[in-house]
Amino acid sequence: MLPWKAARPGDPLVAIDTPALVLDLDAFERNLMRMAEALRGSKVRLRAHAKCHKTPEIARRQVALGAVGICCQKVSEAAVFVEAGIEDVLVTNQVVGDAKLRHLAALGRRARIGVLVDHPLQVQALAAAAQAHAVTLDVYVEVNVGANRCGVAPGEEAVRLARQVAASTPLRFMGLHCYHGPAQHMRSPQERAAAIAGAAQAARTTREAIEASGLPVERVTGAGTGTFLHERDSGVFNEIQAGSYVFMDRDYGDNQRGENDVAFEHALFVRTTVMSRATPERAVVDAGLKASSVDSGLPIVWQRPDLRYVKASDEHGVLATPDAAALTLGDPLMLVPGHCDPTVNLYDELVCVRGERVEALWPIAARGALL
């Protein structure tokens, strides 16, 4: 337990101790609505990715607005959300090892649980665990549609694995997981469109090959915040896994927006304070790389184009400043983090603000759920 909190509900914005992870509720709620609108009238449903927020309060709001459930990346993460009442969780990952399989199968007694496979041995181990716990698990074959990470090759290899799943009694073959991660941050709309056209073609070919073998493919799931309109309109995907749209980090903000792309807003900020101002040309803030993950680059300073965050060390952020008047010791600033997912994972709570006031603290209950 940390010895004190950054804020309490009712506090004015200026009273928040720093660094703190701040959620702008108005912008966040608009992002939720824009996603719901973007899928309304389509036959494509949202299964919101919870790996970026790890926050049951957010998952509940996503489900209330129409999401069928959530995705998680880890079994322990899924356990947190099942405990919080989410009834349909897809672990968008391979699950390997006895301990993990035991926990995954146990969750199958409390919620609808799905999982991915890309190897015959995973199918055998999942079937054994499901049988031991007397549960049925939804299983999706992960297809490598361009990300070159996990996943079998499109076509025959996927067909063989799908048939193995379908032949395993305690497993329910649901369909295909076709996620193209690198496409999410291709900067031009044309690159993103081309990458997803390729991914959709690979998914379509594979679905048709499985169906030609006599096995129905109920679900083709994938997509992220950077590309989901392409998957929505592909005619082959029928489930969208976007997550970051709730927050919009700097890396997503750096994408050039296509003319039809949804105007999600930055809603997640690291609030920080100028703690050193020993020279006119730089200021040092109290948010370094333990407060704002730099794996996808440095944060930017919100609504202060005159300031540049130029260097992060563990607990310090160095800002280049135009002159001595630009900032004073003690000034608060808001940073837009480079990458929302690992930044959220550094905090225990979201400090939710509306206007100039703290409205709530939401526990990031799956923070650190690595297993």
Q: Please state the closest distance from residue 360 (CB atom) to a copy of itself, in A.
A: 19
Is residue 329 near a copy of itself by the rule CB under 8 A? yes
The nearest distance, CB 43 to a copy of itself, in angstroms, is 29
Within 127-186, the residues that bind a copy of itself by CB under 8 A are 144, 148-153, 181
309 touching a copy of itself, by CB under 8 A: no
Task: Using CB under 8 A, pick the residue from 13, 17, 25, 261 that binds a copy of itself.
Answer: 17
Query: Does 313 contact a copy of itself by CB under 8 A?
Result: yes
Position 18 contacts a copy of itself (CB under 8 A) = yes
Does 19 engage in binding with a copy of itself (CB under 8 A)? yes
Within residues 81-100, the interface with a copy of itself by CB under 8 A covers 83, 93-97, 99-100
In the bound state with a copy of itself, the residue whose beta carbon lies nearer, of 38 and 142, is: 142
Q: Is 104 in the site for a copy of itself (CB under 8 A)?
A: no
* Residues in 247-306 that interact with a copy of itself by CB under 8 A: 273-278, 282, 284, 286, 289-291, 293-295
SS (H, E, C) the chain: CCCCCCCCCCCEHHHCCCCEEEEEHHHHHHHHHHHHHHHCCCCCEEEEECCCCCCHHHHHHHHHCCCCEEEECCHHHHHHHHHCCCCEEEEEEECCCHHHHHHHHHHCCCCEEEEEECCHHHHHHHHHHHHHCCCCEEEEEEECCCCCCCCECCCHHHHHHHHHHHCCCCEEEEEEECCCCHHHHCCCHHHHHHHHHHHHHHHHHHHHHHHHCCCCCCEEEECCCCCHHHHHCCCCCCEECCCHHHCCCHHHHCCCCCCCCCCCCCCEEEEEEEEEEEECCEEEECCCCCCCCCCCCCCEECCCCCCEEEEECCCCEEEECCCHHHCCCCCEEEEECCCHHHHHCCCCEEEEEECCEEEEEEECCCCCCCC
Tell me the closest approach of the beta carbon of residue 60 to a copy of itself, in angstroms.
18
Choosing from 202, 345, 361, 362, the residue that interacts with a copy of itself (CB under 8 A) is 345
Quick note: the x/- pattern for a copy of itself over 210-249, rule CB under 8 A, is ----------------------------------------
32 near a copy of itself (CB under 8 A):
no
Q: Identify which of residues 20 and 39 has a Cβ nearer to a copy of itself in the complex.
A: 20
Judged by CB under 8 A, how many residues of this single chain contact a copy of itself? 71
> Among 47, 74, 133, 219, which residue interacts with a copy of itself (rule: CB under 8 A)?
74
